[in-house]
Amino acid sequence: MPNMTVTVDGKKIEVPMGSTILEACTAAGSRVPTLCHDNKLHPFGACRICLVEVEGTPRKFTPSCTTPATDNMVVKTTSPGLIEARRMVLELLLIKHPLDCPVCDKAGECSLQDLVHEYGLGPSRFDPEKGYLPPDYESAIIERNISRCILCGKCVRICDEQNAVGEWAFTRRGTRARISTDFDRPLDCEFCGECVEICPVGALTTRQFKYKARSWNLEGTASVCNYCGCGCGVSYETREGRIMRVGPARSNYLCTKGRFGWDAVHHAERLTTPKMRVNGELVDCTWDEALSIIATNLKVIKSRHGAEKIGGLGSVRTTNEDSYVFQKFLRTVVETNNIDTLARLKTPKGLNTTFFSGELNKMASHEVILVLDKNVGEINPLTGIEIVRAVNKKDRKLILVNDEFNKFNKIATVVLPTSTVNALENLVKALSSGAGSEESKRAAAMLKAAKNVAIIVPAQLSDNEFTLIRDLAGKLPEVTYYPLVRRSNFQGSLDMGVMPSYYPGYRKIDETSTADFAGLWNAVLPETTGMNAVEMIKAITQGKLAALYIMGDDPAGSDPGLKGILQKLEFLVVQDIFLTETAKLAHVVLPAASSTEKSGTFTNLERRLQQVNKAEEPIGESRPDWEIIQDIAKKMGGSMKYGSTRDILAEIRSVVPAYKDLAFGACWAREKSPLAGMADDLSLTSDSIMKQEVITAERLLFSSGMTITRSHEIGTIRHYKIEV
């Protein structure tokens, strides 16, 4: 696009055609105050505080956020007249705004407060009309204080433009205008809290943070959300070492789980001490006792039955470092390859072999987006948001496969109201022969005409669906896949080799790789590949597995049928943050630190390496997973000597080629995977275990996983259904 020259406060700058005056001013480094403007949203022009002087315009002042700049425009951002005009705007806003800053939770980060302070307003010339509407305490999670509202409309717009929910709207008009929900009823939405985040004043505040601390008391720790594969950047805001609230790390989107669900780590039932089974009862014990018992038992079982009768189930929510140390411990100290995660049962087939995820922030570069999973916004909320942004901001076309109704129906160009398999079959048919229903034909025509297509791959795929997606992609010029990944560090656990037949970095276990890794780790490694999760469970029933070490997973909780099977074990160790159903069956329970209480790295579904930082001290006696495992390894005679997670990451970088020069925040390239384009399948299937989805009437967004169900804040909205 050609550039144009704009002079701002005497400074000449080049800006692209179509820029607004505000963008030109920002580019020139001149600050123009704004209340209703946000880069995430379409310009609105509600507050009139961003007035500037444009030379030669008949009107004296121009709102800069909505006015396009023109070539050779001369703009002034400050002048006595402008200051007077802005003061007037503020004075008018303050007629109704209650000056309850001392008890308002927004104080300190309130745009109105800052501006009034900056422009130094004195007593008002108008009769004030304060507190004309009482605050709304009816809604869950979010409180609405209409009197404080300045009607900037940011909440209304972000809920519509970014979330496609449209929970807020202006009702009435003139002096009686206000933001309101459906007929002023309590909120019934996704409760993402984006409206609270974007509110420039204290009209929308959260119940969770209400009167907890003042904003200037908080210290931020940048980290990564631990609730789904998106891995959104969060900032844990602490006061005196305890988290008070969670905000986005870089004004990015956060869903309700990321923003409000963190309070699960403050749950009263957190494990604080190690426990061991004495006379059938779990009793508290010291770390030394617990670790000694584990070391002794594992050694005894190993010498009595052989190492192949010991197995380990890793976690997909612990850090890369934890997973790496876990698999290394089992391989080099216990000397078994029986390592797996149960989450592989709930994974898209072909992940990391056929389906490599594109980068989420590039979703909008695709002309057509094909959504094959109607629950995309519930499983990976950020993926859902990126779809809405692509449609609303860039006018991308959306083909939605949905046999029900949800928010994506409202923005979809074509809806295929059928199951995923049927829709895929119809699309393939329509693409090859041109036959099919009206919708399929329209969708096929759109796909055919598009330069590039993004396909949202469902979180679970049948063989048939998998082949159909590949058939469909074969008929399209350029396809980017966006597989849905439920758990935060699933990708990382695969990368770290928490699998029975692959070493870290997807090196298949064979003679050469075993020799390589034996050299790298300076250890004796088992020669055969191990049992996968399904085989391990089967082996327990057949008495072929005597001991199991479970780190951060709750098989008995997700499939009650496994309870009886796990009880058959001679020795079960569970390391978790809660006394889960599985932990209740264990012989030794070890309290682990939660993701807010330790450092490390996650690898999200885009294969992006992300830094997790410690915001709080571990609760009680709990410790990070890798430290626990290292201590057990030491007691069993292993030679792990990591001083911190950095040492572990350094070793990961030397062992896993994809991580070698991978910077924080960068995604590792698909070419770095030895499995790219291979027929290997990293997902597992089973007709007996984890087959039943626990069917609840609850929304996936509010109740997926055992941590989120322990969040008090999310508990208050769990009864809300998807609105139809």
Partner 1 sequence: MLSDKELQDINAELAHAATKASASVDALNIVQRHQGWVSDEAMKDVASMLDMTADELDAVATFYSFIFRRPVGRHVILVCDSISCYVMGYNPLLDNIKNRLGIAFGETTEDKRFTLLPISCLGACDRAPAIMVDEDLYGPVTAETMDGILEKYK
Partner 2 sequence: MNKVKKFFKTIFLIEIAQGMALTLKTMLTPAVTRQYPTFKRKPIPGSRGLHAMRRDETGKAACIGCGLCEAVCPSKAITVVTSEGPEHEKVVNSYELDLLRCVFCGFCIDACPVSAILMTPEFELACYSRKDAFYTRDRLVEVGDNYMGGKAVKK
Q: Which is nearer to partner 2, 108 or 561 (CB)?
A: 108
Strands 453-457 and 368-371: parallel
Q: How far is the CB of 406 from partner 1 (least distance, A)?
A: 12
Binding of residue 170 to partner 1 (CB under 8 A)? yes
Q: How far is the CB of 99 from partner 2 (least distance, A)?
A: 9
The rounded Cα 504 to chain-centroid distance in angstroms is: 24
DSSP 654-696: HH-GGGTTPPTT-BPPGGG-TTTT---------SSTT-S----
Spatial separation of the C-alpha atoms in residues 659 and 426, rounded to whole Å? 41
Of 648, 670, 638, give the one whose Cα is nearest residue 657: 670
Spatial separation of the C-alpha atoms in residues 240 and 252, rounded to whole Å? 26
Spatial separation of the C-alpha atoms in residues 668 and 671, rounded to whole Å? 8
Q: How far is the CB of 170 from partner 1 (least distance, A)?
A: 5
Q: Which of partner 2, partner 1, none lies near 695, with the C-beta cut-off 5 to 8 A by kind?
A: none
Q: Which of partner 2, partner 1, none lies near 56, with the C-beta cut-off 5 to 8 A by kind?
A: none
Spatial separation of the C-alpha atoms in residues 27 and 77, rounded to whole Å? 13
Q: Which of partner 1, partner 2, none lies near 420, with the C-beta cut-off 5 to 8 A by kind?
A: none
Q: How far is the CB of 242 from partner 2 (least distance, A)?
A: 11
Q: How far is the CB of 19 from partner 1 (least distance, A)?
A: 28
Q: Which of partner 2, partner 1, none lies near 216, with the C-beta cut-off 5 to 8 A by kind?
A: partner 2
Q: Which is nearer to partner 2, 208 or 595 (CB)?
A: 208
Binding to partner 1 in span 466-505, by CB under 8 A: none
Burial class (CB in 10 A: 0-12, 13-18, 19+), 325: buried
Q: How far is the CB of 42 from partner 1 (least distance, A)?
A: 16
Q: How far is the CB of 209 from partner 2 (least distance, A)?
A: 10
Of 354, 391, 398, give the one whose Cα is nearest residue 679: 354
Q: Which of partner 1, partner 2, none lies near 637, with the C-beta cut-off 5 to 8 A by kind?
A: none
Spatial separation of the C-alpha atoms in residues 565 and 463, rounded to whole Å? 28
Q: Which of partner 2, partner 1, none lies near 211, with the C-beta cut-off 5 to 8 A by kind?
A: partner 2
Q: Which of partner 1, partner 2, none lies near 169, with the C-beta cut-off 5 to 8 A by kind?
A: partner 1
Whether 148 contacts 97, CB under 8 Å: yes
Q: How far is the CB of 208 from partner 2 (least distance, A)?
A: 10
Q: Which of partner 1, partner 2, none lies near 663, with the C-beta cut-off 5 to 8 A by kind?
A: none
> Which residues 6+ apart lie within 8 Å of 102 measured at CB?
none
Q: Which of partner 2, partner 1, none lies near 68, with the C-beta cut-off 5 to 8 A by kind?
A: none
Whether 364 contacts 396, CB under 8 Å: yes
Spatial separation of the C-alpha atoms in residues 99 and 114, rounded to whole Å? 13
Q: Which is nearer to partner 2, 74 or 107 (CB)?
A: 107
Q: How far is the CB of 177 from partner 1 (least distance, A)?
A: 8
Whether 353 contacts 677, CB under 8 Å: yes
Of 237, 145, 254, give the one whose Cα is nearest residue 190: 254
Binding to partner 1 in span 178-217, by CB under 8 A: 180-183
Q: Which is nearer to partner 2, 148 or 154 (CB)?
A: 148
Whether 144 contacts 204, CB under 8 Å: yes
Count the site residues for partner 1 by CB under 8 A.
17
Binding of residue 429 to partner 1 (CB under 8 A)? no
Binding of residue 410 to partner 1 (CB under 8 A)? yes
Q: How far is the CB of 142 from partner 1 (least distance, A)?
A: 15
Binding to partner 1 in span 142-161, by CB under 8 A: 160
Of 312, 191, 199, 320, give the one whose Cα is nearest residue 258: 191
Q: Which of partner 2, partner 1, none lies near 181, with the C-beta cut-off 5 to 8 A by kind?
A: partner 1
**Would you state the structure tokens that stand for residue 403, as one six-digit string?**
């046999």
Whether 223 contacts 235, CB under 8 Å: yes
Encoded amino acid at 164, one letter: A
Q: Which is nearer to partner 2, 132 or 137 (CB)?
A: 137
Among 13, 107, 133, 169, binds partner 1 (CB under 8 A): 169
Q: Which is nearer to partner 2, 103 or 724 (CB)?
A: 103
In three-state secondary structure terms, 557 is: helix
Q: Which stretch binds partner 1 (CB under 8 A): 164-172, 240-248, 396-404, 704-712?
A: 164-172
Burial class (CB in 10 A: 0-12, 13-18, 19+), 157: buried
Among 143, 167, 190, 581, binds partner 1 (CB under 8 A): 167
Q: Which is nearer to partner 2, 107 or 523 (CB)?
A: 107
**Element housing 171 (H / E):** strand 169-171
Q: Which of partner 2, partner 1, none lies near 132, with the C-beta cut-off 5 to 8 A by kind?
A: none
Spatial separation of the C-alpha atoms in residues 224 and 241, rounded to whole Å? 18
Q: How far is the CB of 101 from partner 2 (least distance, A)?
A: 8
Q: How many CB atoms lie within 10 A of CB 385?
A: 26
Among 108, 131, 135, 166, binds partner 1 (CB under 8 A): 166
**Would you state the structure tokens that stand for residue 422, as one six-digit string?**
């049927």
Q: In the 3-class helix/strand/coil scheme, how is 332-401 assigned residue by residue?
A: HHHCCCCEECHHHHHCCCCECCCECECCHHHHHHCCEEEECCCCHHHHCHHHHHHHHHHHHHHCCEEEEE
Residue ranges in contact with partner 2 by CB under 8 A: 101-103, 107, 135, 137, 210-214, 216-217
Q: How far is the CB of 276 from partner 1 (least distance, A)?
A: 55
Residues that bind partner 1 (CB under 8 A): 160, 165-174, 180-183, 409-410
